[in-house]
Amino acid sequence: MRMKDQFSSRVRWVRFDACFVLPLLLLALQSFLGSQGLSAAEPAAPRKGLVATVNPVATEAGLQALRDGGNAVDAAIACALTLGVVDGHNSGLGGGCFMTLRLADGRLITLDGREMAPAAATRDLFLREGKADPLLSQDGALSVGIPGEFATLAYASTNYGRLPLGRLLEAAARVAEKGFRLDRHYVGRLKETRSQLALFPESEVIFLKGLPTVPSAGDRLRQPDLARSYRQMAAGGVAWFYRGDFARRTAEWMQAHGGVVTASDFARYEVVPREPVRGTYRGHEIVSFPPPSSGGVHVVEILNILEHFDLAAMGDGSAELAHVVAEAMKLAFADRARWLGDPDFARVPRGLVSKKYAVELAQRIRLDRASVVAAAGTPPEADREWFTRERNRHTTHFSTADTEGNWVACTASLNTSFGSKVVVPGTGLLLNNHMDDFSAQPGVPNFFGLVGAEANSIEARKRPLSSMSPTLVLRDGQPILSVGAAGGPTIISQTLLAILRTIDFKKSPREALAAPRLHHQWKPDELHVERSWGEAVIAELRRRGHTVAVDASLGAAQAVGRDAQGHWSAAADPRGEGAAGVW
Ligand code: GLY
């Protein structure tokens, strides 16, 4: 596509940082941006707003919504719809999402569009001869939860957006119809998932036969069925999806292929506005996603623990910092396995985010060596108080903001690459495999190696536990950061680290996302670090007793921010091929 090509070339220019022709390039870039209304990652002052996603075509769709008179909510919806076309292995309308919003009038809102288990789902759905079978929870009919993303986007559009949803759907339909060029990530996912996609004829036609036998970056993928579905949603709205043709076709396919999803499951799906998880960190307010995500709870829990350590004095990139952050993560992830689940079904103690509990956990951290965390802690009033439903109430992250004061952090997902691999015949819509995020059996790890307990067992109409962490940071009541990430449980770690880099180390979003990452999820007892921490830090972490696994790169995060001087900035993860833009 023309805009993608233009944008990509600009991103390559930005990466020319060390080149001696930099001043000339910057001049050329400035005039180019002026004429196109687009920007590199760190603009000073937008006319209307900022957008950051993992894909330049989706970022452009968000910017176009702003140019067309939309606000940050419209921009986020445009990004979500377009990501479902150009980044469809990660997210789409057959999946779910969480959206955290701060509206211009100061309201803070979290919309739960997580998938829901079908009514016929039972605790032992994935057990065969007493053992959990990951093939059942990860591919095909049983792996599918009732999708929530479209309901969420429609809800946000009706209540907080300005542009008609149909117009945004039509713009994304045109991208699906004309096609887009695959990036290297899409090609990599296709290659990894090829044999599973081939099991489902509809998916095979779209993703394997629709492309060269050995796809490569730059190949064009067209999705005419998906374009038609988007247009049917534009005409028929949520009724087409949840009570009409799409629900019926999905139920028919499920019945013929051993699934348990019915049309009545679709009809009963609802987006749930929930009370955000709120915490504080060194004078800043943290607003994040509540259960059924574990993200907000553990981002706040870890920040509460780390508040007891002088991270700035340790220095970013130091072994001291990596050690103490890893120790805090380990404690929080042990709690995740024990306590977290859908709050409409499980008691999730509010004490997990209390400052008092964090004191107790911080005291368990030794600075000289890695600790053994045998089990979850017991937060205050664990038996009495829990997050409740509030009626007033593989994955991608995107952030938007506008100059009116609307900020959005949204994380959307089909779960693992291409979700269940199932495309509902004739619709082009891929279905998620989020049923794998339930704990199929106590102590048995899911795709991401996460273990869970009773709180996250499978039940009819329950929502599987997530790590998605769309988060806003406020200072003096004003938003300064919208951030979140993709990558299973590392989402929590990436979001946390971006917040630390912003608050403790005063980094811009671009610098915060570029800084080295680490991740510890308690089980397995393994500390994942990016190679960029450097050999000396990695050796020191091993000396302190960590079992260290070194990764080339961890995750993909996006952010937009505004610093104390009022400068705006937006950043896509430098590990990927995303784009940040301003208009
Ligand atoms: N699909 C990953 C998550 O929701 O945590």
The residue-averaged pLDDT of 35-57 equals 73
Ligand 1 mean position, distance from CA 439 (Å): 13
23 CA distance to ligand 1 middle (Å):
42
Tell me, what's the pLDDT at 442?
A: 83
Average pLDDT in the 421-426 region? Answer: 98
Confidence of residue 2 (pLDDT cuts 50, 70, 90): very low
Residues found in the chain: 583
* In the predicted structure, residue 5 carries a pLDDT above the cut 80: no
The answer, yes or no, to whether residue 414 has pLDDT greater than 80, is yes
Residue 408 pLDDT level (bands cut at 50, 70, 90): very high
Q: Which amino acid is at 506?
A: K
Question: Mean pLDDT across the stretch 283-303?
Answer: 98
What pLDDT is stored for residue 384 in this prediction?
55
In a domain, 249, yes or no: no
Amino acid at 554: L
Q: What is the mean pLDDT of residues 508-524?
A: 97
- 3-state SS assignment for residue 300: helix
Which residue is closest in CA terms to ligand 1's atom 1?
A: 415
What is the whole-number distance in angstroms between the Cα of residue 438 and the centre of ligand 1? 10
Pocket test for ligand 1, best of 98, 297, 415, 495 (most atoms within 8 A of CB): 415
- What confidence score (pLDDT) does residue 4 get? 28
Closest atom, ligand 1, to C-alpha of 295:
5
Nearest to 137 by CA among 436, 394, 431, 423: 436
Query: What would the mean pLDDT of 30-38 be, rounded to a whole number?
Result: 35
* Token pair listed for 555: 């995750």
Whether 14 has a pLDDT exceeding 80, the answer reads no
CB 467 within 8 A of CB 337: no
Tell me how far the alpha carbon of residue 148 lies from the centroid of ligand 1, in angstroms.
Answer: 13
Mean pLDDT of 335-352: 95
pLDDT interval class at 31 (50, 70, 90): very low
Alpha-helical segments (H) within 340-452: 355-363
Residues 134-158 have a mean pLDDT of 97
Percent of the chain with pLDDT over 90: 87
Residue 241 lies in a domain: no
Domain encompassing residue 546? 274-392+468-563
Q: Is residue 246 part of a domain?
A: no
In the prediction, which pLDDT does 42 show?
A: 56
Distance (angstroms) between ligand 1 centre and the Cα of 415 equals 6
For residues 69 and 162, is the Cβ–Cβ distance under 8 A?
A: yes
Give the CA count within 13 Å in the CB-facing half-sphere of 571.
26
The number of distinct structural domains making up the chain is: 1
Ligand 1 site-directed mutation target among 298, 448, 519, most atoms within 8 Å of CB: 448
Q: Which atom of ligand 1 is nearest to the CA of 434?
A: 1
Domain for residue 150, yes or no? no
Q: Which of 581, 578, 411 is nearest to 486 (CA)?
A: 411
Q: Is residue 4 part of a domain?
A: no
CATH code (residue 305): 1.10.246.130
Question: Which atom of ligand 1 has the smallest separation from the CA of 413?
Answer: 1
* Within a domain: 63: no
Mutate to test the pocket of ligand 1, among 112, 298, 395, 432 (most ligand atoms within 8 A of CB): 395
Distance 434 CA to ligand 1 centre (A): 7
For residue 452, pLDDT beyond 90: no
Asked if residue 12 has pLDDT above 80, the reply is: no
Nearest-CA residue for atom 4 of ligand 1: 466
Instruction: Give yes or no for residue 391 having a pLDDT over 70.
Output: no
Would the pLDDT of 262 be above 90? yes
**What's the CA-to-centroid distance between 319 and ligand 1, angstroms?**
29
Read off the pLDDT of residues 187-223 as tens digits, 9 standing for 90 and up: 999 999 999 999 999 999 999 999 999 999 999 999 9
Which tops the pLDDT comparison, 394 or 148? 148
- Ligand 1 center to 114 CA (angstroms): 9
Q: What spacing in Å lies between the alpha carbon of 194 and ligand 1's midpoint?
A: 22
Nearest residue (by CA) to ligand 1, atom 3, is 466
Q: Say which residue, 583 or 35, is predicted with more confidence.
A: 583
Q: Which of 102, 37, 45, 99 lies closest to 63 in space, CA to CA?
A: 37
pLDDT exceeds 60 at position 581: yes
Quote the pTM value.
0.91
Quick check: 74 pLDDT over 70? yes
CA distance readout (Å), 387 to 56, 375, 376, 486: 38, 22, 18, 24
Q: Residue 383: what pLDDT?
A: 66
Model pLDDT, residue 202 = 97
pLDDT for 88 beyond 60: yes
Atom of ligand 1 nearest to the CA of 411: 4
**Site to substitute for ligand 1 among 411, 437, 492, 495, most atoms within 8 A of C-beta:** 437
Question: Is 371 inside any structural domain?
Answer: yes
Q: What is the mean pLDDT of residues 31-47?
A: 50
Residue in this structure with the two tokens 């049917």, named with its chain if needed: 232
Res 18: pLDDT:
23
* Residue with CA nearest ligand 1 atom 2: 488
Does residue 530 belong to any structural domain of this protein?
yes
Identify the band that residue 281 occupies on the pLDDT scale cut at 50, 70 and 90: very high
Pocket around ligand 1: residues whose beta carbon is below 6 Å from it? 395, 413, 415, 437, 466-468, 488
Percent of the chain with pLDDT over 70: 91
**b/e 193-224 (16+ beta carbons within 10 angstroms → b):** beebbeebebbbebbbebbeeebeeebebbbe
From 395, 400, 416, 502, active-site residue: 395
Q: Averaged over 175-183, what is the pLDDT?
A: 97
pLDDT, the chain, mean: 91
User: What's the whole-number mean pLDDT along residues 478-503?
Assistant: 97
Would residue 395 show up in a list of annotated catalytic residues for this protein? yes
> Binning pLDDT at 50, 70 and 90, where does residue 411 land?
very high
pLDDT of residue 45: 77
pLDDT at position 122: 97
* Ligand 1 geometric centre to CA of 394 (Å): 7
Residue 524 preceded by cis peptide, ω within 30: yes
Ligand 1 pocket: which of 91, 333, 466 to mutate (most atoms within 8 A of CB): 466
Whether 517 shows a pLDDT value over 70: the answer reads yes
Q: What is the mean pLDDT of residues 537-554?
A: 97
In this structure, what are the phi and psi dihedrals at residue 272, rounded to the nearest 5 degrees? -115, 110
If you average pLDDT over residues 247-276, what whole number do you get? 98
CA–CA gap between residue 223 and residue 218 (Å, rounded): 16
